[in-house]
Amino acid sequence: MKPQRQAKETSSSPPRDAVRTKKAGPAKEGARSLDGHAAPMARQKVMHDELNAKRLALEEAQERLKAQSAELRESAERFRTMTERIPVFMYTTNAVGQSDYVNQHFLDYTGLTLAAASGVGWMKAIHPEDHASVIANWQKAIVEQKPFEMAFRFRAVNGSYRWFRGDTQPVRDEQGNVTKWFGSCADIDDLMRVQADLAAVNERLEERVIERTAQLAAANKELRHEFKERQRLEHEITEISEQERRSLGQVLHEGVCQHLAGVVMIATTLSDVCEQKSDPEMARRLKEIASLIRSAANDARDVAKGLHPVDVDADGLVAALRDLTARYDVPGQTRCVLHCHEPVPVHDNDVAMHLYRIVQEAVVNASRHAHARNISVHLGIRQQDITLSITDDGVGLPENHDQSTGLGLKLMRYRASSIGAVLSLAARTGGGTVVRCRLASPT
């Protein structure tokens, strides 16, 4: 019996090594086996710690990813809200220009669906007259990778068309390659209509300007004709006046002066007869009559010379002026002198005659009406212009000489204007008058 109990105990009891191991307890952390490796329990703990660290890092990355995803969703929602609510067509395309997004405003306006507008479907809404040019310019922008800007018309859902301004900009990667296109179309129909109205107004205004210009040209032509006709008539009047002056001077010189000279001779003869017949009183009176007639003859002769001067032409102007001033240079009464120290290029006979008449009128006015004691006539060249001045020390100009109705002043101004000269009258310092005439010298 005893051997059986022992065998039973032996089969139910653990091995001795196991009992010893249990008694020894767990191995200390960091304990190593005979081969130098970490004990199994230590390795498990290290692996467990590493797994925990990786799990924590993964959880943190997941949290960051969630936050970034939320930001992207929020940004996409803001972009979608903006593009859907803004009253402008918004769209994007891929790198080759195929549409992959259009906003709802475009779909509502054109009546197209998103699928129908994808790719190049949006071009179905372009006005037929603008279709070819839009495609050509859009393809050019894609090839050259440059912005696309153009005005064209889109068809509305009701079949009407309005003008829009398309503006598409390329989106590039870090290497500068176009990866996408982003664009918009703004309604400019009202602006285009205003511009069309302005263009129509400008066209009508231009037509009126052309019409008015033609009318003014015709009026100017008529005025030029009338002006030339007036100049012709004035020239004829001047010529007739000169002819009459010459005729009158000739009549005075050859007729009146001769008759007066004859009367002087008769009076002188009668005076001699009376002296011989012892009638001194009658002889004295006849001599006085002869003297008066002689004085009248001299005056008539001077008038005749003024009316019919020695040939006043371009070559004889200076000589004629010297003769004129000499006739009014009366010793003891009036000093009248011509100052001309250089040749004056007057090549036109009419110009010479008008200059002579201006000097004559000024000298006569200074001598007879202004009672001048000194009269100076200056003729010369200044800054390539012919200058003429007549200065006197007479009583001077009246205050309202610009409104004077005197024929002499009008004639001087007319003669100056007829040869393109400028005439001016001014009071002389210290008393008297200065008449100036300036004429551009012929080239």
Report the alpha-carbon distance of residue 324 to residue 336 in Å, rounded: 9
**According to the model, what pLDDT value does residue 31 have?**
46
In the CATH scheme, what is the code of domain 73-187? 3.30.450.20
Report the alpha-carbon distance of residue 13 to residue 94 in Å, rounded: 81
pTM: 0.44
- Is the pLDDT at 78 greater than 70, yes or no? no
Report the alpha-carbon distance of residue 409 to residue 369 in Å, rounded: 13
Angle at 230 between CA 226 and CA 231, to 5 degrees: 120
Q: What is the mean pLDDT of residues 281-286?
A: 79
Q: Which residues contact 39 (CB under 8 A, 6 or more apart)?
A: 27, 30, 31, 32, 33
Instruction: Judge residue 113's burial from the number of C-beta atoms within 10 Å of its C-beta, 0-12 exposed, 13-18 middle, 19 or more buried.
Output: exposed
How does residue 404 score in pLDDT terms, banded at 50, 70 and 90? low
In the CATH scheme, what is the code of domain 310-443? 3.30.565.10
Q: What is the mean pLDDT of residues 124-138?
A: 95
User: Within 13 Å of residue 258, how many CA atoms lie on the same side as its CB?
Assistant: 7
Could you tell me the end-to-end alpha-carbon distance of the chain, in angstroms, rounded to an integer? 170
Topology match between the domains 73-187 and 310-443:
no
**According to the model, what pLDDT value does residue 30 have?**
45
Cβ(120)–Cβ(94) below 8 Å: no
**According to the model, what pLDDT value does residue 407 have?**
67
Phi, psi for 156 (deg, rounded to 5): -85, 170
Q: What is the pLDDT of residues 290-340, one digit of tens each?
A: 788 877 777 776 666 666 554 566 578 888 899 889 988 888 889 999 999
Domain borders along the chain are 73-187, 310-443
Task: Considering only residues 391 and 252, tell me which one the structure prediction assigns the higher pLDDT.
Answer: 391
Report the alpha-carbon distance of residue 442 to residue 344 in Å, rounded: 11
Q: What is the pLDDT of residues 91-121, one digit of tens each?
A: 999 999 999 999 999 999 999 999 999 999 9
**According to the model, what pLDDT value does residue 42 have?**
77
- Is the pLDDT at 170 greater than 90, yes or no? yes
Report the alpha-carbon distance of residue 46 to residue 292 in Å, rounded: 162
